[in-house]
Amino acid sequence: MDQRPLTRLRRRELGLLLMNHNEPETQNVTTSTAVIKYGGNAMTSLALQQQFAANLLCLSEHGIQPIVVHGGGPQISAMLDRFGIESEFKGGLRVTTPDMIDIVRMVLHGQVNRELVGHINQLQPVAVGLSGEDAGLLTAVKRYADIDGQPVDIGRVGDAGSVNPSILRDLLTSGRIPVVSTLAPDAGGAVHNLNADTAAAAIAAAIKADKFIVLTDVTGLYSNWPETDSLIPNLDTEALKGMLAHLSAGMVPKAEGCLRAVEAGVGTAHIIDGRDSSALLRAALAEGTPVGTTVTPAPGGNS
């Protein structure tokens, strides 16, 4: 990876990437905020990690303040395997015991978070890693698995409860890029692993972001998966609600996150393919350019 700082030459190179994808001229740059849920193969491929870091800096140079939120399911599974601990899932959710939460914290904040912060700071030292535990950013509400209609305790697994975005605002004001791992304490101080999709949406809603962008391993939402020509380029929140029951288990929290964000006032939400190195730039910068699936407010909503 080119580790030069973002000199004028480096900025020109990044600008060419946008021009190659029909990004309109940015003449009057205004500041907006995008919350980006980082996941999928973009987290596990070194080349994609490095490209993602460069793209974040490109967004900043074009007037978009990015906030990155990440989980790390595959990395957690790999570390548990190294410790000889078998991963158990109930209702599609990982059972997380009090002993396991220490490993989860180590992976999410000590590995995944530090790697991404490092990639960004190799290019320009502006990234700051934090978790939901820091400065009261997030609190956790215990989540139960649904097994045949019955709630089942799965340990230290939660959803985002309250969000205090003041630390994020402070970082953005100082020109930093926050990188957030989704760990948070409950009311009693017990740390939980939060679903990263819904936690990112909660942050987007609280910060009143202009965009909420979810990176995944498919191009977007499909009306008849896996038929690639059934990609849905645009839909509103009412149409998305009607799709939830028909989505795969892995896509449901991503769609629910988009729904929550847009209904809370976020301008648009996007589900994009993180394996496409230019998809993030096009979703964030090239208004009207087809990329992934864009979720907009239903008529009369988001007012």
Cα torsion 50, 54, 57, 62: sign: negative
Per residue of the chain (303 residues), what is the pLDDT tens digit? 343 444 343 455 445 555 554 444 443 456 899 999 999 878 888 999 999 999 999 999 999 999 999 999 999 999 999 999 999 999 888 999 999 999 999 999 999 999 999 999 999 999 999 999 999 999 999 999 989 889 999 999 999 999 999 999 999 999 999 999 999 999 999 999 999 999 999 999 999 999 999 999 999 999 888 888 899 999 999 999 999 988 888 899 999 999 999 999 999 999 999 999 999 999 999 877 789 999 999 997 665
DSSP calls for 14-78? HHHHHHTTTPPP--S---EEEEEEE-GGGGT-HHHHHHHHHHHHHHHHTTEEEEEEE--HHHHHH
Q: What share of the chain is helix, strand, coil (3-state, %, to 5)?
A: 40, 25, 35
Binding-site entries for substrate: 72-73, 94, 193
Q: Domain ranges for the chain, please list them.
A: 31-231+239-251+260-266+274-296
For 55-68, letters b (16+ CB in 10 Å) and e give: bbbbbbbbebbbbb
How many Cβ atoms from other residues are within 10 Å of residue 49's Cβ?
20
Looking at domain 31-231+239-251+260-266+274-296, its CATH architecture is 3-Layer(aba) Sandwich (3.40)
Residue set of the binding site: 72-73, 94, 193
Three-state SS at 226: coil
